[in-house]
Structure 1
Amino acid sequence: MNVEVQSQVNIPVDKKAEIVLVLDYSGSMKETSGGEVKYKAMRKAAKKLVADLEAANPDSVKFGLVPFSHHVWVTLPKQYVVGQTGLGNWTGCTQDRMNPYNLTDETPNIGIDESKWGHPQAPPPPGDGPHGGCAAYAPNKLIVRPLTNDFWSVKDQLDRMLPYAYTHIALGVEFGFHLLSPNAPFGQGVSYGDANTEKIMVVLTDGRQTERSFGPGGSREVADGERNLEALCDAAKAKGITMMTIAFDLRDDATKDRLRDCSTDPARHFFVAEDGGDVASAFESIRNEITAQVVLSR
């Protein structure tokens, strides 16, 4: 077992925590590493984190989920989705917003389509086959779950989610940022700078960006997604979000470097996991610090 670093969340004992798990559910997570199916190892470790913090003090922590592959499946107000009109909500698949709106947690402007979600899926990069559509997301339970203290529902969804399709890491972090934000369309996050709450995003992936993303000047390339990930991590950290990243059986050095740089403090918040045991150890380190410094505050 070889976890590269240890984690620590430096927060006083009277604080609470909002935690969003941004988890890679692309097709490669169905593969094995160290004799264990990767998504099952991730699921087991994430469920244990939720269960342990719930048992310690359910009043001190909330969880959100962002399972991502090349899309996310999410419920949004219609006014924030391209082509939708009227009141009520829209539920479906989306990729990122257009640049530069996909680099912030700002609420969409109902008069500017570029600031909204729901743009058509990007064509696959040259040499790739079709990246798949939207049909498998709901059956595979790959559904964005806003911050909640309904721990049973979080664990139940973790039990049910199944991998599908390609990888859009920047999209996962984009929605993780929005779930922790006090801004619409979600708004469950407390205000930035709240003295009593620590915001934490845990990002796990096993591969490089393979989906095109919106960049400046109308560009839409895989490289834009890589740059967008860097910009989103910087923006989230600037808001005071603690970024923790896990590279799980990740063979692409550039992506591994990007995850290291994404973390708030690489010496404390970046993990290299070669197998399921390493993933469990990474989540255990995160759990221990949160338990000691947040949850046992009653």
Structure 2
Amino acid sequence: MPDAHCRQMSDKSSSSTTGLLVRFRHDQRGVTALLWAGTFTGFLMAAAVAVDYGLAVAESQREQLALDAATLAGSAQISSPEHETKVVATVEAFYTANRSAVGGSTLKSTSYDADKGEIEATAGTALKTKLLKIKDYGQKTIDISTRSKVVRGTGTVEIAMVLDNSGSMGGSSGSVNGTYIEDLKVAAKNLSSAMFTGAEGTDRVKVGLVPFAASVNIGPENRGASWIDKSGQSSIHFQNFSENRSRFSLFDDMNVAWKGCVETRPGGLDTSDEPAVPGVPESLFVPMFAPDEPDDSNASAAGQPSYPNNYISDFGGNCPAGEQVCTRFNRKRNSCTAYAPAPISVAEAQSRTCKYLSATPTEDTGPNSGCTTAPVLPLNSTKQDVLDAISAMGASGNTNIGEGVMWGLRVLSPGEPFAEGREPGQGDNRKFMIVMTDGENFLSSTSNHNRSVYAAHGYASSGRLGTTYTQAGYGEALNAKLTAACGAAKQQGITIFTVAFRLESNPTTQTLLKGCATTQDQFFTAGDGDALLQSFQNIGRQISQLRIAE
């Protein structure tokens, strides 16, 4: 009997799985048959559950990844002016792109809080079963439900935006904004708004702004600061002048306000965040004062071309009258009808301080020549203050990227001249710098005795940019200082993002910016205003450190 029964079981094994289960269930021929049927049915049931629910777990993981990606993408649009239409549309687009091939997948809901910077979505899939769908089990689908919530990362953030405001940024961009500087303003404002989303009224987010061109304007309100060289302690304070009169006294002589720009510090301190200490003269920041350059008569007598920043007479103020020479002679009368001071050397003409008393500079030139940018905004936790500072930017002047980076570092560091930055290791705080430029380092050379226009390093003739007095030589020196400045910032744990704007034909500057960025992924290129906007959005997304909360 057992042998016969075993042969019957062997014969049945060749049948379909469904038929086997049915015959087992209706077999009435004894306890042995019932035991075998129960055991084998349970085994197949467990196998079916394992297979289908294993597939369900894997599908649930894919569903969750797709929903997380969709909510993260949607979160980037929360700060957009069109967030009411863009957030939900972006979530739907990303979810559909990742789940369109899966039947039964549905995005059920999307909600967000623009003030808190949070977004939440739910989705579901009715997964068709493979084995459990047979008629004896009857389960045709397994329902999968997922939920994703994206919130801001914890901790605090400090950001310095170091933005090119040189003259080339004033060019027509062909965009709705009109010019490249206006494209930049839109990108910077959008990023700032995104950073402050959910953080206004707190100090969780602080943003500073460093507009740069040939120099950086640290603000005229800092004239009396302890870190400013007010009286002439630094060795460079009296460069270009024959008398030891402070630069602020010369501004006062003309009744002209100092606009706020400073020269770079000498002795390697131009690429150092070494604190400015009153007892250490070279550490102090010297106010920029663009000297009145020689009159045309003195330049001509010396065989020099006209000087670009000639804004008052070399013989004005309380300068001594000096020798007079005839400049117009009447032959009929055999007499001189006009006299003028005898020419003096261009060096003497430029270095005189007597000429500034009660002098009135021309409108387009003067002692603030070379100081073309809006002032630095120190780290600030009020969004409107940041937006207003961005609005005040304008395009004018040469380009000194390294000087911008150094003031970005000084804005972020905790010590003076700007002390709003948190100390290293203070809580969960992160520091970021965004460096954007549309051109190479550039200082205009001249063919006169100054060798260049006046800028943050003074005149090139001072030797602070080396002794290769060519346009290329100045560029190489400024490039080296940019690299040193980026290194100084990264040594302090600052994450640097760089954006090369319209620099497709300038591989040298692109390489410099790529090396300045903390990682390759933090270097961006942008060929037009739209790409610039996208680059800033991508940077903002990285800084926000959005995280999946649920």
1:13 to 132, 142, 153: 153
1:45 to 187, 191, 207: 187
| Kept in 1: contact 2:501–2:532 (CA 8 A) | yes
Q: CA deviation at 1:213?
A: 6.4
Higher RCO (CA 8 Å, separation ≥ 6 residues): 1
| Kept in 2: contact 1:95–1:171 (CA 8 A) | no
1:106 to 268, 274, 295: 274
Q: Does 1:219 align with 2:464?
A: yes
Q: CA deviation at 1:37?
A: 1.4
| Kept in 2: contact 1:78–1:84 (CA 8 A) | no
For 2:276 and 2:423, how far apart are their aligned partners in 1? 18
Q: Does 1:262 align with 2:516?
A: yes
2:170 to 14, 19, 30: 30
Q: Which protein has the bigger strand share?
A: 1
Q: Does 1:78 align with 2:331?
A: no
1:243 aligned partner, one-letter code: I
| Structure 1 partner of 2:374 | 142
For 2:544 and 2:367, how far apart are their aligned partners in 1? 38
Structure 2: give runs of 5+ residues left out of the alignment. 1-151, 233-257, 292-304, 310-364, 444-454, 467-473
Q: CA deviation at 1:248?
A: 0.5
Q: Which one has the largest radius of gyration?
A: 2
For 1:62 and 1:80, how far apart are their aligned partners in 2? 23
| Structure 2 partner of 1:63 | 207
> % of aligned pairs identical?
31
Q: CA deviation at 1:120?
A: 4.8
Q: Does 1:286 align with 2:536?
A: no
| Structure 1 partner of 2:286 | 118
| Structure 1 partner of 2:142 | none
Q: CA deviation at 1:263?
A: 0.2
For 1:99 and 1:122, how far apart are their aligned partners in 2? 21
2:527 aligned partner, one-letter code: E
| Structure 1 partner of 2:261 | 93
Q: Does 1:165 align with 2:397?
A: yes
Superposed structure 1 runs of 4+ greater than 4 Å apart: 119-123, 129-138, 212-215
User: Where do residues 170-185 of structure 1 align in structure 2 (5 Å cutoff)?
Assistant: 170-185=402-417
Pair 1:78–1:53, CA change in 2 (3 A) = closer
Pair 1:156–1:119, CA change in 2 (3 A) = closer
Q: CA deviation at 1:154?
A: 1.0
Q: CA deviation at 1:30?
A: 0.5
| Structure 2 partner of 1:248 | 501
1:109 aligned partner, one-letter code: V
| Kept in 1: contact 2:262–2:456 (CA 8 A) | no
1:283 aligned partner, one-letter code: F
| Structure 2 partner of 1:5 | none
Q: CA deviation at 1:136?
A: 7.7
| Kept in 2: contact 1:207–1:255 (CA 8 A) | yes
Count of residue pairs brought into register by the alignment: 276
| Kept in 2: contact 1:141–1:157 (CA 8 A) | no
Provide, for residues 185-215 of structure 1, a one-character-per-residue CA deviation record: whole Å limited to 9, x for no partner.
2111011233411000000000111137659
**Which SS does the other structure have where 1:94 is aligned?**
coil
For 1:16 and 1:134, how far apart are their aligned partners in 2? 41
Provide, for residues 7-43 of structure 1, a one-character-per-residue CA deviation record: whole Å limited to 9, x for no partner.
xxxxx92221100000110110001345451111110
**Which SS does the other structure have where 2:217 is aligned?**
strand
Q: CA deviation at 1:112?
A: 3.2
For 1:275 and 1:32, how far apart are their aligned partners in 2? 11
| Structure 2 partner of 1:229 | 482
Q: CA deviation at 1:55?
A: 2.3
1:52 aligned partner, one-letter code: A
For 1:153 and 1:53, how far apart are their aligned partners in 2? 14
TM-score (norm 1): 0.82
1:16 aligned partner, one-letter code: T
| Kept in 1: contact 2:432–2:495 (CA 8 A) | yes
Q: CA deviation at 1:281?
A: 0.5
| Kept in 1: contact 2:153–2:544 (CA 8 A) | no
Pair 1:213–1:157, CA change in 2 (3 A) = closer
TM-score (norm 2): 0.46
Q: CA RMSD in A?
A: 3.2
